[in-house]
Amino acid sequence: MMQRQKEEEAIVLDFLLHGYMDDKSPAHMKTPIGQSIGTNGFTLLELVPKKGIFLQPLERVYIGEAKREKIHHINGKLKYERLSSTAKAELEHAIAEIVKLNEKDFVEFFNKAQPLSTRMHIFELLPGVGKKHMMELVEERREADFNSFEDIKKRVKLMPDPEKVLVKRIIKELKGEEKHNLFTSY
C-alpha cells in the first residue's frame, strides 16, 4: 500500500467541450469538462479548464496549489462509471505511463510487500499472481532486492509482466472491484 500525497499533476483522459450529454442546463451555461487521472494517487478527477483552453487526451496538466496554466478549478473526484467511453479507453494508457515513470516506486512495492495474513500475501492480490509466483517473488527478493521491472521478469520465471499486472490491478481498484486498495485512495 503506497503512501501518496496530494495530486499535483493529472493526465487528461477526455475533453468534453460542451460538458456532459446528460446535463440539462441551457447550452450557454454548460462548461467544458476535462476528465483526468492524477499522476500521484491515481485519483479520477473532473477538471474545468480556463476559458478558451482545449485539452487533449493524454496531455499532462498542472493541478497543484500554485498558478495553473490551463486548469481553472477542480470540480472534484469522479467515479469510474461517470467516465466517458473515450476516457475509459485512454485510462489504461495513462496508468501505464504513470507506472512506467514511477518504476522505482513500484519496484520498491515488490521489495517491501508483506503478508496480509498467515494465509495470504499481498502479492496474491495482483492479477495473475498466485501462490507459486508469490513464493518465487519472496525467495528472489531474499537473495537481493529487485532493481527494475526487467529484473523481476528475469528472476521470477513465467511471472506475468509486472507493469501490466500493476495496470490491471489499478484499473480494478478504480472500478471498485477490489476489497483492498493497494494503489488508489478509492
Residues of the chain with pLDDT under 70: 1-5, 28, 186
Alpha-carbon gap, residue 166 to 99, rounded angstroms: 8
Q: How far is CA 133 from CA 50, 86, 120, in A?
A: 48, 34, 13
Please give the CATH number for the structural domain made up of 9-84.
Answer: 2.40.50.140
- CATH number among 3.40.50.970, 1.10.150.280, 3.40.50.1970, 3.55.50.30, domain 102-174: 1.10.150.280
Domain ranges of the chain: 9-84, 102-174
Q: Where are the beta strands (DSSP E) in 17-159?
A: 33-38, 44-49, 60-62, 71-77
- Cβ–Cβ < 8 Å for 166, 106: yes
pLDDT at residue 4, as a whole number: 54
pLDDT at residue 73, as a whole number: 94
Q: What is the pTM of this model?
A: 0.90
pLDDT at residue 1, as a whole number: 46
Alpha-carbon gap, residue 124 to 120, rounded angstroms: 7
Convert the pLDDT of each residue in 11-53 to its tens digit: 999 999 988 888 777 776 788 999 999 999 999 999 999 999 9
- Same fold for the pair 9-84 and 102-174: no
